[in-house]
Copies of this chain bind each other. A is one copy, B any other.
């Protein structure tokens, strides 16, 4: 319990010899306050260690000074991609703390039927000023519509395809995947296999298109049999690798649509005594934290996740209160991270 009652706006006003409205103007950095008055008020604020009460402010202004980051809730045990979520959080946090906002996190299970309702309830109770919806949730129409219907400003991350009346922030999945493919081809690889991601994740689907682009651009033919379906899990990467590597004319490079699957490939290669990158090059996508720490370190595609959420949060914060529907789209380029798991084709 607080021994001494916390200072309120009235205390500050009294000490500074002004009205509470003036104090409010100062704390909100509104114009039209004489510099000398502002200083007087500032001094009182400092002296009393005054901080505006967030609830009162939010109640009076309908601005809550917090935003929500919603992402697919992986079981941390099944899925090592913690770094992915942490990077999402990190960017949003950066923007929030720079603007005196708070971040609420809300992992939601894509599979759960009532995620849309759950989010509506959260919005109605807590009135966040905006929502950042990360992929793959950002391409579930039901969820997107539920949020939109409340009128809460929304920024979608990597929704897979843009929608005219929405705001989205994405990365150049297709282009960068083509680049990775060309890179592998430039190392002399002819049989480059691809493991696709989960179908519901559109952005991951774009990586497959990029792979095909890259083959074409490198003058390589596309073969269905060099493609295996995965579902973004390590296990599916292992399964796909087991199939691909059991053939007699096996691929010399495997490009997986995410890092977890690539890690699965590397595990299988190790268990089959196939040297990576000597006999097999492996590339992933996402640059999740394990990528650097498995052996050999994984060549992958690095998405600027934190930058993307930071930008998303800034968009929401800047827009806050003006109530206009957000629309637009931004693309932040990803980059190749060449590490140890890729090398010249054998022979």
CB pair B93–A51 under 8 Å, yes or no, is: no
Q: Does A86 contact B (CB under 8 A)?
A: yes
Once the chains are docked, how many angstroms separate the CA of A294 from the CA of B263? Answer: 9
Known: A53-B125, A125-B52, A323-B1. A80 touches B267 (CB 8 A): no
CB pair A295–B295 under 8 Å, yes or no, is: yes
Identical subunits present: 2
CB pair A126–B76 under 8 Å, yes or no, is: no
From the candidates B2, B234, B270, name the one contacting A150 in the complex (CB within 8 A).
B2
Once the chains are docked, how many angstroms separate the CA of A310 from the CA of B297? Answer: 35
Least Cβ–Cβ distance between A215 and chain B, in angstroms: 29
Once the chains are docked, how many angstroms separate the CA of A234 from the CA of B52? Answer: 43
Of the listed stretches A137-145, A285-293, A327-335, chain B binds: A285-293
Least Cβ–Cβ distance between A50 and chain B, in angstroms: 9
Q: Does A309 contact B (CB under 8 A)?
A: no
Q: Does A89 contact B (CB under 8 A)?
A: yes
Q: Does A347 contact B (CB under 8 A)?
A: no
Cβ proximity bits A67-111 to B, threshold 8 Å, 1 near / 0 not: 000000000110111111111011001000000001111010000
CB pair B102–A126 under 8 Å, yes or no, is: yes
CB pair A55–B323 under 8 Å, yes or no, is: no
Q: Which residues of B contact A43 (CB under 8 A)?
A: none
Q: Which residues of B contact A295 (CB under 8 A)?
A: 266-267, 270, 294-295
Q: Does A124 contact B (CB under 8 A)?
A: yes
Cβ proximity bits A1-30 to B, threshold 8 Å, 1 near / 0 not: 111001000000000000000000000000
CB pair B93–A151 under 8 Å, yes or no, is: no
CB pair A105–B125 under 8 Å, yes or no, is: no
Q: Which residues of B contact A217 (CB under 8 A)?
A: none
CB pair A51–B125 under 8 Å, yes or no, is: yes
Of the listed stretches A56-64, A167-175, A184-192, A221-229, chain B binds: A56-64
Once the chains are docked, how many angstroms separate the CA of A84 from the CA of B77? Answer: 10
Q: Which residues of B contact A125 (CB under 8 A)?
A: 51-54
Q: Does A163 contact B (CB under 8 A)?
A: no
Known: A102-B126, A151-B1. A56 touches B53 (CB 8 A): no
A84 and chain B: residue at smallest CB distance: B82
Least Cβ–Cβ distance between A127 and chain B, in angstroms: 7
A102 and chain B: residue at smallest CB distance: B104
Least Cβ–Cβ distance between A277 and chain B, in angstroms: 14
CB pair A105–B83 under 8 Å, yes or no, is: no
Cβ proximity bits A114-151 to B, threshold 8 Å, 1 near / 0 not: 00000001101111000000000000000000000011
Q: Which residues of B contact A89 (CB under 8 A)?
A: 105, 107
Q: Which residues of B contact A270 (CB under 8 A)?
A: 295
Once the chains are docked, how many angstroms separate the CA of A329 from the CA of B283? Answer: 47
Once the chains are docked, how many angstroms separate the CA of A76 from the CA of B85? Answer: 10
From the candidates B56, B79, B104, B290, name the one contacting A80 in the complex (CB within 8 A).
B290
CB pair B126–A54 under 8 Å, yes or no, is: yes
